[in-house]
Amino acid sequence: MRQSKLLPRILSVAVFILLEIASLYLLSRNSEVQHSFLSRGSHAVMGAVWGRTQAIKEYFSLAGRNRDLAQENFELQRRLLRAQEQLRMARIDTASTAGRDGFSVQWAEVVRSSRNKQHNYFILNRGYEDGIQEKSGVITPDGVVGMIEGVSARHSFAYSFQNADISISARLGTEGGTGILVWDGKSRRGALLKEIPLQYKYDPGDTVYTSGHSLLFPPDIPLGVAGDARMVNGTTNEIKVTLFQDFSAVRYVSVVHNNAFDEIQEFQQ
Amino acid sequence: MKKSSFWLIYLLLVIAQLILGNYACFTPYVLVTLLPVMVLCIPLQMGTVGAMLVAFVTGLAVDFLTEAVPGLNALALVPVAFSRRWVVGLVFGGELFARKEDFSVRRNGLGKVLTACALSTALFLVVYVWADAAGTRPFLFNLARFGASLPVNLLLSLLVLEYLAPDSRK
């Protein structure tokens, strides 16, 4: 019953549109004034339609754009690390740094992650076939997000920084004291910088960087900003840090591996 | 009213419209037209598609035989035919469709009939005045033209109703 009423209505609308278009065509053909008026109107409509279409197209191409940007970002990060390494080598005696290979960088995408546990993790879409190695750091332009713990052929498993067992060596400011940065266990962006000797002065708002003392992460990666501090046992400061990295938005990451990792480990043993 | 006599009167009113269109141009503020009420009076048994085709042909005929820009009357008249059943349903209710009757002044009252005529004429005038001005005339002029034309055409619609929607008991 409803279908039998719907069909004539659709037909009526179609005929109406057809007749109106025919009238507009006649009007446009027979009068210059109406022609320019209708042209302006149709251009405005087409402009709006194309604008919307373009916006919709762009929306659906965002995934591709994100991927491109992530790759571009990865390339820039690799260049930055190389430049930092060269800068460091230029500063110190070259004889003593001979043999240092720096960090290799691989790009990866997070395919699975957990955020609401005390031991959070990531799974990345690249494995040893792509050059990912165990004991590598996982970073983004906003800081450190974790470290690779296990690698399969095409995937790798990483502990998130939001993990009660993970700590990284961090430095307060460019020349400040070095301590241990751990997740505060509660908030999305909260961390604690522990064991900062009392003699190192700092101001709230100072940036916290990776120290470079860890074998996993290159130095001078900005991690977050320092906040309030409290004294612990009268010997060190514990400083609250607000991380730059929003862990709920991690998707594309760079996996950095210290090429001298095995060699240094052997020395330590 | 018999169908054949309706269409004969309809044709005569089209000729009357041609005369009005060619000779009754007293002021640019008043547009004299019988067409919207004529389309409104097309028997309801004829569907919307049929009414729209009649309106289109009528509009084109008037356009080509008067000094109007070809397409202008057709453009304004087709929406009147398209909305005709909606206007009739809104003003007179669904009874007319159920009884398969057409409206008339005696049966439905002058007020209701004039309301339906006013709605159809207003729709026609809005489209006509807008398309005729084509962005070259100020809004106030268009408003004045619409405001002056509507009452004049409502008066003329009484004449059209007399011939196209007479009461059968008369």
What residues does each domain of chain A span?
102-268
DSSP β-bridge partners for residue A126? none
> Could you read off the pLDDT tens digit of each residue along chain A, which spans 269 residues?
555 678 888 888 999 999 999 988 888 887 777 777 777 777 788 778 887 887 888 888 888 888 888 878 877 877 887 787 777 766 654 444 444 457 888 888 888 888 888 888 889 988 988 889 988 999 988 889 999 999 998 999 999 999 888 899 999 887 788 999 999 888 888 999 998 888 888 888 889 999 888 888 988 888 999 998 888 888 888 999 999 988 888 888 889 998 888 888 787 77
Q: CB A26 to CB B82 under 8 A? A: no
Best to test chain B binding among A6, A23, A25 (most B CBs inside 10 Å): A23
User: For residue B121, what pLDDT is reported?
Assistant: 93
Q: Which amino acid is at A227?
A: G
Report the C-alpha gap between B167 and B170 in whole angstroms: 5
Cα Rg, chain B, nearest whole Å: 15
CATH code of A102-268, in short, is 2.40.10.340
| Nearest chain A CA: its distance from B168 CA (Å) | 30
Report the C-alpha gap between A265 and A246 in whole angstroms: 32
User: For residue B4, what pLDDT is reported?
Assistant: 66
Report the C-alpha gap between A254 and A75 in whole angstroms: 9
At B20, the pLDDT band (50, 70, 90 cuts) reads confident
pLDDT digit string (tens) for B126-163? Answer: 999 988 887 778 888 889 989 988 999 888 888 888 77
pLDDT digit string (tens) for B68-113? Answer: 788 889 999 999 999 988 888 888 887 777 777 777 777 888 888 8
| Nearest chain B CA: its distance from A253 CA (Å) | 56
Tokens 């996996």 appear where? A255
**Closest CB to B71 among A16, A27, A36:** A27
Q: CB of A19 within 8 Å of any CB in chain B?
A: yes
Predicted-complex ipTM score: 0.84
Tokens 């087709």 appear where? B78
User: For residue B1, what pLDDT is reported?
Assistant: 58
Q: CB of A39 within 8 Å of any CB in chain B?
A: no
User: For residue B24, what pLDDT is reported?
Assistant: 73
pTM of the model: 0.52
Q: CB B131 to CB A12 under 8 A? A: no
**Closest CB to B52 among A19, A28, A33:** A19
How many inter-chain contacts (A to B, CB under 8 Å) are there? Answer: 68
The values of phi and psi at residue A175, to 5°, are -125, 15
**Closest CB to B82 among A16, A30, A38:** A16
Report the C-alpha gap between A167 and A148 in whole angstroms: 14
User: For residue A4, what pLDDT is reported?
Assistant: 66
What chain A residue is nearest to B57 in terms of C-alpha separation? A19
